[in-house]
Chain A
């Protein structure tokens, strides 16, 4: 993933511990350009301002949840093509269906492993042709 490591990634989660974990795992995979946001609203602001190429987001967050963030991203002409990976404790069938319908690029259920994250990232990159 040598050519992918320069991608600018936004990690969105209201729990700082989880942001730190995801950031660490992404670093482990070679990614260095990582920023964080504590909820969907902050994330959307950052996405509209910054030149992000990938989003890793939680579902349950205050102010704006991950699904709304995903829907907002998909309805924004400038952001609609952004790869969006959900990492969430929401693991019910209806959640997965809702995420898929909203246009999620991947879905990881908490608790997850480093291997799962890597696998899903690779899958998304392959799909994107990166």
Chain B
């Protein structure tokens, strides 16, 4: 995004320079009394990119050569305006540049993890639900043919176990939610301390490693 915006940010600034420079020249040139003074001021300005140093010198000369108090005030005002506008434009560019303090690669990794978590949770939930359904179908068959209390009890327990697993599988929402919050914060560049690193795998310990560490500490 920053790359796309950069050229857009550049062109208004460039236009601004051209417009303001043209204004300065246009105002200065027609009001100049002597042709010999006005002409060199216009020509180098139009070829500003060719010889910057010489054009600056000529512009300076043209301003200096004017009769004091006649046009110098106007030119100075224009130059001040130009300087202000340039400063504004530069500030605008800096803000855009400065706000991109997030590494986009990190966000893509975070969102990739969210995608993985949701996929895993869906797969797990589906598998558990399918297993529970199979058991209930078997149970119905058992009821029709040979009613066995123990079978029903066992089947119900198994179904209960699968349902619990489906419930546990929903915990992805917590981790995915944290990851999304983190991504959103990163993307908007808000100055909020990022909560939780549910997604940052770097330096994360497994439950076994945590247990081992705690057994030494507690």
**Contact surface of A with B, Cβ cutoff 8 Å:** 13, 15, 17-18, 20-21, 24-25, 28, 59-60, 62, 89-93, 96-97, 100-101, 106-114, 116
Contact = CB atoms under 8 A, between A and B. Distances in A.
B217 interface: yes
B174 A110 contact: yes
Interface in B186-212: 195-198, 203-207, 210
B175 A111 contact: yes
Given A18-B171, A96-B213, A109-B205, A90 B196 contact: yes
Q: Which 6 A-B pairs have the closest CB atoms?
A: A89-B198, A60-B196, A100-B217, A91-B204, A17-B173, A18-B174
Which of under 10, 10 to 19, 20 to 34, or 35 or more describes the interface residues of B? Answer: 20 to 34
Nearest to B205: A91
Contacts, number: 83
Contacts of A112: 171, 207
A60 B178 contact: yes
A58 B171 CA distance: 13
Main secondary structure on A side of the interface with B: mixed
Contact of B196 (A28, A89, A107, A114): A89
B170 interface: yes
B213 A109 contact: no
B205 A97 contact: no
B197 A109 contact: no
Nearest to A97: B217
Contacts of B197: 89-90, 92
Contacts of A109: 204-207, 210
Contact of A96 (B164, B167, B170, B210): B210
B119 to A, nearest CB: 14
A84 B206 CA distance: 20
A76 B217 CA distance: 23
Contacts of B203: 92-93
Nearest to B173: A17
Contacts of A28: 164
Nearest to B217: A100
B174 A15 contact: yes
A89 B214 contact: no
A91 B204 CA distance: 5
